[in-house]
Structure 1
Amino acid sequence: MAQVLIARGYDSTAQVQEFLEAKLVDLHPPEQVPGLNKATELIFAAIEAERRITIYGDYDADGVCATSILWHCLKLLGAHVDYFIPSRLEEGYGLNKNAIRELHEADPERLLISVDCGITSVEEAALAKELGLELIITDHHQFADELPDAAAIVHPRLPGTEYPFGDLCGAAVAFKLAWRICQIKGDGKRATPRMREFLLSAMGLAALATITDVVPLHGENRLLVRFGLPALSERPGFGMKALLTVCELQEKKLLETDDIGFSIGPRINAAGRLGQARLAVELLTTENPERARELANYLNEMNEMRKKVERKILKQARELVDEEPEWLEAPALVLSSTEWHPGVIGIVASRVAEHYSKPTILIAMSEKEQVGQGSGRTIPNINLHAALAGSAEHLVKFGGHQAAAGMKIEADQIDDFRVSFCNQIQKQLEGDRPDEELWIDAEVRLADCTYGAVRELDRLGPFGEKNPRPTFSASRVQLAEPPRKMGQGERHLSLTLHQHGKRIKAIAFGKSDWADEIARIDGALSISFAVNINTFRGQSSVQLLLKDWKAEEAS
């Protein structure tokens, strides 16, 4: 523990105590979030006037959780509230003009509140103002040079403001807004017991979104996840309870970030990826346990479908690269096909970026229209949003942040965009591709990887973006058994290793292509790995999560 803390820059007792003993009261007061007080005033005025309030959400897990948090909060206040989630496949990301017109026509007096979107919707906000539709924007994404003209904008990094923590996700911004509403409904500083209970539950959804949106797990985000994860299992609504059952996590006392990232989050995201995000919001807001079970089962089926589509696209993407070997020399990849599902390309872009160690854009082209929908993922220290901004002349529109972004592009612009995008990435690389670095916290023996040591290291969590599970290295490690491929499609690699009499299991997710190469190694290995506790059928054991390896030279 001491070695890891020192390796991560904690070099004083005070720093260590602040990190390990962080408290819920360390969260910044909600009224400090830029624009939040103005938004709160408008919301209470709308409730008092008995106007309809419509929450306009995004279709990913962050947007679904943000919508659910704010809907629950306003419902508790007796507001006339509903929600609108655009179809990923038909309407695309964020505010859109057709939806604004339809919402205005149905009820011109309504208050429209965006969550997890809207900060780049300059034209859409102008249309809302022209129609007389009152609009509040709450978002966390990167903004453009011009901000939308809305009645209020709530954003932790709003220009000209100095909120202490700028990395909140969309649901965390919505949670802050709900928190302030609850304070005002109480005595101005403390919520009523009923609203406080709601906030503790809502923190679970904010934690879920924080993990799935892959924002940095430090500062306020680490606090939200640390105290929100227990709420998911201790204070689940009917929908979350049904989802935990489908994920076979209902008996787990304390959920971990991996449970969210690999089990719960993908099922919520699957609904949005396949064009039915409203069902995910319904799951998280329903008061009917039977309906909750139906929806959880349906989301589970959609997730299985999503995985099949994902495997097919990944195979096709690799085949495209094989057909164009010169692309391997480029600093980035831009791939397109009319056969790809636009809701799944973001996940596959992440897999391709990881496989080739390059920023990657995948574009799903429509057979009917000449406009494609793209999704991109990047590698460490490369700003994807900045590269898209530098290539904007070839795009219909784009948005996102440093690590992930989306775009629309006309078919005849793809080749020119590829050249421009690669040039932008090359500029960030400053003429050279840096070797990919793997940060090692400490060198250990396999015998050091005990159950107690892993539980001690868990105090450094919750683990995630910018606060990864500690990574170790070990040398002179031997194979105890031949490598084995496992999982659906044999995507993963299972190993049994030993060193100085210590025998331990290891798994490498998505790395089954290492199997044959490792099997040919005649001598010892040097390995890098994280370590966790694997629980299967009630039995818990220490497991290595293999990150990289190399054969040691014979002495």
Structure 2
Amino acid sequence: MMDAASAVWRVRGQHPCARDLQRALGCSLVTANLLAHRGFVSEPEARAFLNPNFETLADPLKLPDALPAVRRIMCALDRGERIYVFGDYDGDGITAAALLTRLLERLGGDVQVRIPHRHHEGYDLREHVVEAARAAGARLIITADCGIQRYQEVASARAANIDVIVTDHHEPGPRLPDALAVVNPHRRDSAYPFQHLAGVGVTFRLGEALVQAIGLPVSKYRSAFAELAAIGTITDIMPLLGDNRVFVKAGLEQMSSTRRRGIRALLKATGIGDRPVTSHDVGFVIGPRLNAVGRVDDPRKALDLLLTRADEEAEALAMELERANHDRRDEEQRILNAAIERILTHNLHREPAILLDAADWHPGVIGIVANRLAERFWRPTLLISMDDQTGVGRGSARSIPSFHILDALERCAEYFMEFGGHAHAAGFTIAADMVQPLREAFLAVARSTIQPEDLQPVLDIDAELPPHCVTRELLSELSMLQPFGHDNEEPVFAAFGVQV
């Protein structure tokens, strides 16, 4: 988290539309100003934001290739074909895989599901996964939160007479895999109006389209699966706006009375219990535990937790996730301390970017540490966990708002074996002899791109708010801005001249 004391405080003034919005909504000027600064300048926009509901969402068939995907899944269900669901090993991929698995099973499908082991198998669809699907007799592979750049593996599946439906939200490469369907809102030809779905958001909407096509009540589907969409969306730090706000609000409300034994056990184990679940609970309590087991242990345990129908198994798995989270935190602190010592000892923070590598850093934890270092030193940060036996390193990159990390990695593409990600986070693999050339090239990109002012963190203050203006009515209005999260942060107010 940004250090407020070292940041430049930037207090937002009154938005030109705030007064009109105040009159239209009948709310306080503080709330109207907040909404206007967040882009909701008209009454319809503001009311839609304050009252998110499924009826405002676009037709899920506007997702690219959603229709052929639905038709192929229906065909598989009708024929009794085996469907092989393959998900990513993070919280987004796990919830997406759980959603697809349970939905298809409820529709009578013959489903096998697999989550790769981060350290033994690596990320994304691989040849050995295609072979496992073939050996299992699968006729259809559906990816969850992965697959958008697995060209050879999709081709191998087709050669084995296995159709592939890719559901993903990561940026496509220069071409699409030759799959039967590629359902991704980031496709250049996408007509879907909201790009920023999580992987589980893509599967959730595809599931809606499937249920509608079969002729079942979509309201029951939403009630059954919105909580999985909420967990994956928050955990993957997607913007809590548009479609995501609808999923998350509905899902959080469902979680407090969830029928999923695994979620219920995790709420109990973490001390949340029966109280209303918040986006903070998911982002800082539930999500980290789902991710932790994939970082330091086997992510299948998190998937099993979401799928189990047995209370005893749910409680045992919840405790395993607790232990994994403790191990993750210990390892995270060890790596963080070592990295900070190297940065300060060698004055690496005087450069506009940071790149460190070590052989004793856990590859499942370096992403979290990279994020903490980026926030502490306010610089794009790359950390690499080297495997001395194979000579290959796994890297994680995190950035600051003004620096598009994936664009920067693309300018250094010649040094990577593989890479991919988003504007603020990315991952890659690299040969040991390419680390130093990458360091030089990446720093050159950073020096040519980052301006001095970019390296000064800024704390945006939503408004100056004297203590006497804080009323019950205002707090009630502000609560309507929930759920809070990425791109819809909790409001920040400042009171000046206060004597403590």
TM score, norm. by length of structure 2: 0.90
**Structure 1 residue 23: deviation in Å?**
2.3
Aligned residue type for 2:400: I
User: Which residue number corresponds to residue 82 of structure 1?
Assistant: 112
**Counterpart Cα distance in 2 of 1:146 and 1:12:** 39
Contact kept in structure 2, 1:30 and 1:176, CA below 8 Å = yes
Q: 1:328 aligns with which of 349, 371, 376?
A: 349
Q: Could you say which residue in structure 1 is the equivalent of 2:437?
A: 416
Q: Aligned with 1:181: secondary structure? A: helix
- Residue identity over aligned pairs, in percent, reads 38
- Deviations 1:3-62, CA, capped at 9 Å, x for gaps: 322333433333322221232211222111111111111111112221110100000000
Cα distance, 1:255 vs. partner? 1.4
Question: Contact 2:52/2:245 (CA < 8 Å) preserved in 1?
Answer: no
Unmatched tracts of structure 2, length 5 or more:
1-30
1:146 and 1:206 map into 2 onto residues whose CA distance is 28
Cα shift readout 1:512-550 (whole Å, capped 9, x = no counterpart): xxxxxxxxxxxxxxxxxxxxxxxxxxxxxxxxxxxxxxx
SS at 1:129 equivalent: helix
Letter in 2 for 1:202: F
1:218-233 to structure 2, matched below 5 A, reads: 218-233=241-256
CA distance in 2 between counterparts of 1:414 and 1:452 reads 56
Moved more, 294-303 or 270-279: 270-279
Shift of 1:132: 2.5
Residue-pair matches, total: 470
What is the 5 A alignment of 1:114-129?
Answer: 114-129=143-158
Q: Between the two structures, name the one with larger relative contact order (CA 8 Å, sep ≥ 6).
A: 2
Structure 2 residue 311 is matched with structure 1 residue 289: yes
Asked if the contact 2:352/2:455 (under 8 Å) is kept, the reply is no
Contact map agreement 1:426 1:432 (CA 8 A) in 2: no
Residue identity in the other structure for 2:165: I
Name the SS of the counterpart of 2:357 in structure 1.
strand
Amino acid corresponding to residue 197 of structure 1 in structure 2: K
What's the offset of the Cα at 1:431?
Answer: 7.5
What secondary structure does 1:306 align onto?
helix
Higher strand share: 1
Change (3 A) 1:94 1:11: same
Task: Report the Cα distance in structure 1 between the residues aligned to 2:54 and 2:168, rounded to whole angstroms.
Answer: 23
Secondary structure, aligned partner of 2:256: helix
Q: Rate the CA distance shift 1:236–1:330 in 2: closer, same or farther, 3 A.
A: farther
The TM-score normalised by the length of structure 1 is: 0.82
Note the alpha carbon deviations across 1:71-125, whole angstroms, 9 max, x for none.
1110101110010111111211111112212322332x43111010000111221
Tell me, yes or no, if structure 1 residue 248 matches structure 2 residue 271: yes
Structure 2 SS opposite 1:361: strand
For 1:196 and 1:470, locate their aligned partners in 2 and report how far apart those are by CA, in whole Å. Answer: 32
Instruction: State the alpha-carbon separation in 2 of the partners of residues 71 and 398 from structure 1.
Output: 28
Q: How far 1:151 sits from its partner (Å)?
A: 1.3
The one-letter code matched in structure 2 to 1:425 is: A
Matched with 1:379 is 400
> Can you give the 5+ residue segments of structure 1 that lack an aligned partner in the other structure?
479-497, 499-555
Q: What CA distance in whole angstroms lies between the structure 2 residues aligned with 1:458 and 1:2?
A: 13
Alignment RMSD: 1.7
For residue 350 of structure 1, the aligned residue among 356, 371, 393 is 371
* Cross-structure match for 1:298: 320
Q: CA 1:105 to 1:184, structure 2 compared with 1: closer, same or farther past 3 Å?
A: same
Compute the displacement of 1:177 (Å): 1.3
Contact kept, 8 Å, 2:85 with 2:142, in 1: the verdict is: yes
1:111/1:6 CA distance change after superposition, 3 Å: closer
Q: Distance in 1 between matches of 2:320 and 2:455?
A: 44
Q: Distance in 1 between matches of 2:414 and 2:453?
A: 25
Per the alignment, residue 545 of structure 1 pairs with none
Q: Is the 8 A contact 1:201 1:232 kept in 2?
A: no
The reply to whether residue 39 of structure 1 matches residue 69 of structure 2 is: yes
Matched, 1:396 2:417: yes
Identify the residue that residue 105 of structure 1 maps to in structure 2: 135
